[in-house]
Amino acid sequence: MKADQKKWDKRFGRKEFALGKEPNPFLKNHIHLLPKGRALDVATGEGRNAVFLAQNGFEVDAVDISEKGLKKARKLAREKGVKINTFLVDLDQFRIEKDRYDLIVNLYFLKRRLIPKIRNGLKKGGMVVFETYLLEHRTLATGGPKQAKYFLKPNEPLRLFKNFRIQFYREGTFREGRRRKAVASLIAEKI
Ligand SMILES: C[S@@+](CC[C@H](N)C(=O)[O-])C[C@H]1O[C@@H](n2cnc3c(N)ncnc32)[C@H](O)[C@@H]1O
């Protein structure tokens, strides 16, 4: 969507990395559980997670609607001496080839219509790593999206991946650095 592109290009247009260069802690802490191979990072932003996956031996496709974000993702990959494949796409229209990926990472980007495509795009035995805000995050006033549609309802990820084997699930309010956030985190395997 054009409005999303404009918003995120503006946010990622600055020199510094808006979301940092370090990977998402949930992904980092569970990297040992994930099957090696071909990975897709949806809504990669400035590429912190895609680059981390490449550093861990994955062949990574990183997709996002922000060209500014993807440019920084490529810069970060160069800095770390790894290669990632970047694609400028609108995830409203994106198609994922059936049984293509060993791993799909979907962090802090909630588009419910994308979930069936993620399920379909994973190989059997492949895994999804998913984390984003719960509705109660809104009461914390520590940043994040504005519109209600971008927040998860209780146990919603378990429903979205109900035919998968759940490898890890938690919901709650946590402190990450100085910031408090209410999130759901899931790792699930296609069976
Ligand atoms: C909160 S950021 C998350 C970035 C990344 N997953 C991370 O954890 O660092 C949300 C991302 O979604 C992307 N985005 C928003 N709408 C999109 C769309 N329709 N298609 C593709 N990407 C989109 C933005 O450009 C932004 O990079």
Domain count, the chain: 1
Domain extent, residue 54, equals 2-11+19-189
Do the Cβ atoms of 36 and 127 come closer than 8 Å?
no
> What's residue 176's pLDDT?
84
- Strand stretches in 43-135, DSSP E: 59-64, 85-88, 101-107, 122-133
The SS3 of residue 19 is: coil
Å from CA of 5 to ligand 1 middle:
9
Does 4 sit in the ligand 1 pocket, CB within 6 Å? yes
From CA 57, how far away is CA 49, in angstroms rounded? 13
Does 23 sit in the ligand 1 pocket, CB within 6 Å? no
Nearest ligand 1 atom to the CA of 5 is: 25
| φ, ψ at 50 (rounded to 5°) | -60, -45
Handedness of CA 102, 183, 2, 78 (dihedral sign): negative
> What's residue 86's pLDDT?
98
CB proximity list for 55: less than 8 A, separation 6 or greater:
80, 82
Nearest ligand 1 atom to the CA of 7 is: 25
> What's residue 105's pLDDT?
99
In the numeric block, which tokens belong to residue 171?
């919901």
- Top mutation candidate among 5, 109, 149 for ligand 1, by most atoms within 8 Å of CB: 109
CATH (domain of 109): 3.40.50.150
Locate tokens 């209780």: which residue? 154
- Top mutation candidate among 5, 8, 42 for ligand 1, by most atoms within 8 Å of CB: 8
Q: Angle of helix 67-80 relative to helix 2-12, nearest 10 degrees?
A: 40
Report which secondary-structure segment, H or E, holds 182: strand 179-189
> What's residue 146's pLDDT?
87
Condensed to tens digits (0 to 9), the pLDDT of residues 133-164 reads 999 999 887 888 889 999 999 999 999 999 99
DSSP symbol at 138 = G
Does 86 sit in the ligand 1 pocket, CB within 6 Å? no
Which residue has a Cα nearest atom 15 of ligand 1?
4
pTM tops 0.75: yes
Report the side by side order of strands in the sheet with 85-88.
Answer: 85-88, 59-64, 38-42, 101-107, 122-133, 179-189, 165-176
Does 9 sit in the ligand 1 pocket, CB within 6 Å? no
Beta bridge partners of 130: 106, 186
Does 1 sit in the ligand 1 pocket, CB within 6 Å? yes
Locate tokens 């897709």: which residue? 40
From CA 88, how far away is CA 91, in angstroms rounded? 9
Enumerate residue ranges in the chain where pLDDT < 50: none
Which residue has a Cα nearest atom 17 of ligand 1?
65
